[in-house]
Chain A
Amino acid sequence: MAKYIIKRILSAIPLILVITMICFALINLAPYDAIDSMTTPKMSPELVQMIREKYGYDKPVYEQYIRWLGGLLSGNFGYSIATKTNIFNELATRIPNTICLVLPAYLTAYVLAIVLGLLAGSHKNKTLDKIIDGCASLGIAMPTFWVAMLFMYLLGHKLKLLPTFGMRTVGVNTFSDLMRHFIMPYLVLTIAFIPDTLRYVRSSTITQYSEDYVMVQRAFGASKAEIMFKHVCKNVLLPVITKLGMALPTLVTGAVITETVFNWPGIGPYFIKAIQGMDYPIIMVILVLSSTLVVLGNLLSDILYCITDPRIRKMR
């Protein structure tokens, strides 16, 4: 098992390298760079040239890439070009904020989606299924930022129950204050995360119910609950576990829009700002981070699969 994991991690390294190369090349294809977005007619062209040289923009692309990669490998995430801040420090304060919003929301959504998906799948084409499936379709169709604004308007503005933005009230650092700020983005994210898994669970439940073994169980007179929990559930949940591993990158980039709307001081607003300003050191670090998590997430789901499914374990 350990050997397998190490092999998988090693084979991921060239993959991540290729991803960084593609990202770097794409950013360089953009019609302008970070210096352009800072330049104003008040700066003399000489000053602009000096700034450009300071950040190495006068060098060819591959040299810039090697310089950047060297920095990253030596643990130096570099500095933002637009704001000059240390990217590592910024990420270190922002990632925990994002995780403590996304993780609870994802886990809630995950549990709800499984329960509702099983319910809908086992009541195929009945009213309950139609309601659940309809709501899921609606959930997919509604853009997150719109749901977020709707919540803000209703709970924050009309009913004045909750604060509309931020993570904490200035100067108030209590847990209850954090919770009041937490509720709205948490609900919005939960709503955003549910439909995908729900529809997956529903359709695989339906597939399982049409399998022969269910008919055999029915023939032997097994109760509905018995079929559901002893047989169907096991088979449905196996692939769902894979989804859990795949969701790992969501922890970092899963709430970009929601965070921006609610002004949650996580990765979202930081990433969006960096993209708008073509601040490539930040964009690259976040991309490397999330692509690494994609690779690790895949690995994690393979391992979870191995642990839970004896058939796969025996195959190795």
Chain B
Amino acid sequence: MKKSFSKAFALFAAAALAASSLAGCGKDPVVEDTTTAASSAASTGESTGGDSGESTSASSGTFTYAIGGDPTESVNVITTSDRWGLTTVKMIYSPLYMNNADGINWFLATDYSVSEDGMTYTFTLRDDVVWSDGEPFTADDVVFTYTEMEQEENLGWAYSQLVYNEGTVAIEKVDDYTVSFTFPFATPTAIEMLSQIFIMPEHIYKDVEDYEHNDYNMNSVGTGPYKLVEYQPGTYLRFEANDSYFKGQPGIGTIVFQIIENADTAVMALQNGEIDAYQVTPTEAQRIDLEACNLSSYSYTEGRVGYMMINCNRVTDEKVRKAILYALDKQTMNDAAFLSDEYYLTPYTFLPLNSQFYSEDVEKYERDLDKTAQLLAEAGVSDLTLRLGYSASDTIQSTQALLIQEQLQEAGITVELVSSDATALSTQMQNPDNDYDMYLGGYIMGIDPDTFASLFESGAGYNYMYYTEYSEINDLFAQGRAEQDMEKRKEIYAQLQAAIQDTGAFYPICSNNKILLISNRIQGVEEAGLVPVYTFEDTYYLSVAE
């Protein structure tokens, strides 16, 4: 009797466990179902009701964009610095202006003036902007945001753009719609340093101490084209058009950021039409039949430069470094890695090609094996063996590494390939005594050439080439920083680009494009503008075709 009772009990327990877990799946949605259905019905009712008079400007349809990472509930304008977090911030908030390679695009500000000493920048703000909760937007919000960004304890992403050893940028409200910024020194990079900072509402955030954990991040009140209405961790973010956006009623009613971390899954979903847009690699783009899937391909530059750097601590002779570079052929590498020339540009200096300071008046190191042989002979080096570090998970770098090995082999130089985890490699590169002779990597820096100083000045924090003998480079960076005149700056940076190429330590390989595949249903991609990091400069311009 007792035995059968225990058995029955064990069985019952197992069954109960199974049942409760199944009920767990089933129960929530029923509850959620009614609330979401009600709220979505209410919101559609609201938007159609509000626009019944003017049929031209109604937001409609849904656009689902698959993103590769979860922005998470800690999204805020101060500390968020990752790609998808910033993409989310861009939906909800607006900056004073965006400064990209094509120049300034105004949002909350309308124009600016510079004082004669070049230290004070005064911005005029729009006076017709309201926060999505109806409060007016004023200079106080701007002063509040920039001041919070300057607080050390907030660890804001733009802290080092506003706080310098020489002092802190002073922010002053001139009147309700005018704000001035005074730098501690005259700088040509001010416009870039102040850009892309999104303005948060002072009336909401004024008592917040921890920007990452508070009650407001996910109930955001913003001035952006969309409002965040629902967030499911790890699954999706749902935005609805912000009726009070200062440019007017956005074209699409609902935008969903579907979080899909596995690229194969996302590509499959894109081909199936379950999602409308996704950023793909060149190989994925080649594999998809765009016409059959009703997709369009847009490729745009993020100003990234992919490079090979030579570690001067180990390859000390400039002649040997140049001999290596003359044995390389970047065109072959790019053809192999990117499959189609739509997906990349070929840079010859440290600046991205869309920079207005880019100059090709430099040593390009076109392939010349005779020169390699001659330089190696002059340096008295034979049987050269080099260790090349690269990221194993990066297919582009793997292709480049194999071709570098092959091309240098033809010049009699042996290359040992050392693949590593991307972060582990860059951590090792930060150590001046690392045991790599060369490494592959890439960077996206700012619009102004001065932002590259941290990579190329000798002794700079991220200079992994570790050259010390070229004082000219630091001098030219200093001159460029102090010069206000555009033409003179161009000249200085042309010299600088040549000087860096002459070290023989830096070999730019590719400037690869981002490729966005987007359903033909979605219109206005050109107007919305494809920009680095945020994908769309303003999602307001997107619309859905029936």
Contacts and interface: CB of A to CB of B under 8 A. Distances in A.
27 contacts: A31-B421, A31-B424, A31-B427, A32-B421, A41-B455, A42-B451, A47-B160, A50-B155, A79-B213, A84-B74, A84-B213, A93-B233, A96-B24, A99-B21, A104-B18, A107-B18, A157-B271, A164-B265, A164-B268, A165-B260, A165-B274, A171-B36, A173-B33, A261-B265, A263-B260, A263-B265, A269-B261
Interface in A24-52: 30-32, 36-38, 40-47, 50-51
Contact of A278 (B17, B423, B428): B423
Contact of A307 (B10, B25, B28, B72): B10
B350 to A, nearest CB: 12
B159 interface: yes
Interface in B1-60: 3, 6-7, 9-10, 14, 17-18, 21-22, 24-26, 28-30, 32-33, 36-37, 40
Contacts of A160: 272
B424 A32 contact: yes
A229 interface: no
A166 interface: yes
Contact of B268 (A43, A99, A153): A153
A103 B70 CA distance: 26
Given A41-B443, A107-B18, A84 B423 contact: no
Contact of B29 (A42, A168, A310): A168
Interface in B398-452: 421, 423-424, 426-428, 443, 445-446, 451
Contacts of A175: 25-26, 29-30
Interface of B: 3, 6-7, 9-10, 14, 17-18, 21-22, 24-26, 28-30, 32-33, 36-37, 40, 64, 69-70, 72-74, 79, 81-82, 152, 155, 157, 159-160, 212-213, 232-236, 238, 256, 258-262, 264-266, 268-269, 271-272, 274, 421, 423-424, 426-428, 443, 445-446, 451, 454-455, 461-462
Contacts of B25: 96, 100, 175, 178, 182
A171 B33 contact: no
A209 to B, nearest CB: 24
Nearest to A152: B268
Contacts of A85: 72-74, 233
Nearest to B257: A170
Contact of B265 (A43, A152, A265): A152
Given A43-B160, A178-B29, A269-B261, A104 B72 contact: no
Contacts of A104: 18, 21-22
Interface residues of A, number: 68
B30 A103 contact: no
Given A100-B24, A173-B29, A265-B232, 9 more contacts: A32-B421, A32-B426, A41-B461, A84-B212, A85-B233, A153-B268, A168-B235, A171-B36, A260-B261
Nearest to A307: B6
A157 B272 contact: yes
Q: Chain B's interface: helix, strand, loop or mixed, by majority? A: helix
A47 B262 contact: no
Nearest to A82: B82
A149 B264 contact: yes
Given A42-B445, A44-B160, A307 B7 contact: yes
A273 interface: yes
A244 B462 CA distance: 53
B109 to A, nearest CB: 23
A83 B260 CA distance: 16
Contacts of B28: 173
A104 B26 CA distance: 13
Contacts of B446: 42
Given A103-B17, A160-B272, A173-B32, A86 B213 contact: yes
A152 B14 CA distance: 31
* For the complex of A and B, 5 pairs with smallest distance between CB atoms: A44-B160, A84-B74, A32-B427, A100-B25, A84-B212
Interface in A156-192: 156-157, 160, 163-168, 170-171, 173-175, 177-178, 182
A304 interface: yes
Contacts of A80: 72
A65 interface: no
A262 interface: yes
B233 A90 contact: yes
A94 interface: yes
Given A156-B268, A170-B64, A175-B30, A304 B10 contact: yes
Contacts of B232: 265
A280 to B, nearest CB: 14
B268 A166 contact: no
A263 B262 contact: yes
A54 interface: yes
Contacts of B266: 165
A163 B24 CA distance: 21
